[in-house]
Structure 1
Amino acid sequence: MSLDISISLTDSDLKLFIDGIKGAQKTVANEDEAAIIAAARKLLEQSHSSNLPDFVSTRLKHLNTMIAMVEDKGFALPDADRNNVLAALAYFASPDDLLPDNIPILGFLDDAIMIELCVRELEHEIEAYCDFRKWRDNEASRRGVDHAGLMLTRVEWAEARRAQAIERMHRNREESYASGRWAPVLFRVR
């Protein structure tokens, strides 16, 4: 049996999380990026050895994506976006978050809520990164190489997406011509 529980956060509730992220942003400014990532990885390792509720463990999986985003040299996350992701990771790895992680079950509750908030805030960056990884994996497969040995960049991904959009535009135009729905009057394209 499962049970759905909805949590409504008031402005004062959200302020606690906003203050937490502001503190984490200061950490990012003062701490080594590698140390932040290592601490977030340590949190993930600790969570694997804990018997966490599903509502926490499913959200913790997003940390892997956030870590990959900042470590991926090919994706080259812009500095402002990178700092936002690092602040989220710094919050999760901090022993001073709202609820200490060593409190059974509830210790990760604030982390789960914060992950949910961060994933919503970083939705577009995460979506773009997942699309980039899928494209890179497809390119590696198409070329018959391991993607680790294939250094493709975000710029190449963006160019491939631009080329796909132009090809789709031309294909749609040709389909309109072929179906007889419309024919060029002013000029011939392609």
Structure 2
Amino acid sequence: MSLELHITLSDADLKLFVDSITEARKQVDTVDAISIVGAARKLLEETNRAELPDFVANRLKHLDTMITMVEDAGFALPTEDRDNVLAALAYFSSQDDVLPDNVPVLGFLDDAIMIELCMRELQYEIEAYDDFRHWRDDEATRRGESKAGLMLNRVEWAEARRQEAIERMHRRRREAYAGGSWTPVLFKVR
């Protein structure tokens, strides 16, 4: 038997997460990206060994996408966009998150909620990365090359495709926010 729950975050609840991501953003300026990504990756490894509710486990899978996006030299997110993703990852690497991770059953609930919020705000970055990755994989297959070799040997066309994906990401964001039905709260976006 499954049970469906709906969580509504009040303005005060949302402020708690916004304050947490604001603190995490400060780490982006003082801690190197490798340390932030490493700590987020460590969290993923810890959660892989834990028995988690599906709600949490399903959202933690998206954390890997954010990590990969930051590490992918071929995609090379622009600095401002990369800093937004790193701020999200810094939250997940912090020991001072809203709920301590060692609390049985609920310890990763705040992480799952924050991932959900980050996925909404980083939607266009993630879509652009998925587009780029699929294009790169398809192109490597078409050319009969390894995916890693393709990135290193085809820098010029990979850069053109990356720029196209980034421009599409920014265009989608502008179009989505032009309607005014929802605006970002965690990050300053262009």
TM-score (normalizing by structure 2): 0.81
The 8 Å contact of residues 59 and 116 in structure 2, kept in 1 or not, is answered as yes
Displacement of 1:157 after TM fit?
A: 1.4
1:117 corresponds to: 117
1:68 corresponds to: 68
Aligned equivalents of 2:7, 2:20: Cα separation in 1:
19
Aligned equivalents of 1:160, 1:21: Cα separation in 2:
29
Where has structure 1 moved over 2 Å in runs of 4 or more? Answer: 152-156, 158-161
The share of aligned pairs that are identical, in percent, is 63
Higher-Rg structure is: 1
1:155 aligned to which of 141, 154, 159: 159
Aligned equivalents of 1:69, 1:109: Cα separation in 2:
23
Q: Which letter maps to 2:159?
A: V
Question: Does 2:95 align with 1:88?
Answer: no
TM-score (normalizing by structure 1): 0.81
Deviation per CA, 1:90-139: give whole Å up to 9, x if none. Answer: 10111100000011111100000000000000001100100100000000
Displacement of 1:158 after TM fit?
A: 5.3
Question: Does 2:7 align with 1:7?
Answer: yes
Question: Does 2:137 align with 1:133?
Answer: no
Q: Which letter maps to 2:105?
A: I
Displacement of 1:26 after TM fit?
A: 0.3
Name which structure has the greater RCO, CA cutoff 8 Å, separation 6+: 2
Q: Tell me the number of residue pairs that the alignment of Structure 1 and Structure 2 aligns.
A: 161
Aligned equivalents of 1:107, 1:160: Cα separation in 2:
40
Judged with a 3 Å threshold, the aligned counterparts in structure 2 of structure 1 residues 100 and 159 are, in CA distance, closer, same or farther, namely closer
The alignment's C-alpha RMSD in Å is: 1.4
Judged with a 3 Å threshold, the aligned counterparts in structure 2 of structure 1 residues 14 and 139 are, in CA distance, closer, same or farther, namely same
Q: Which letter maps to 2:161?
A: W
Aligned equivalents of 2:17, 2:8: Cα separation in 1:
13
- Gap regions ≥5 residues in structure 2: 166-190
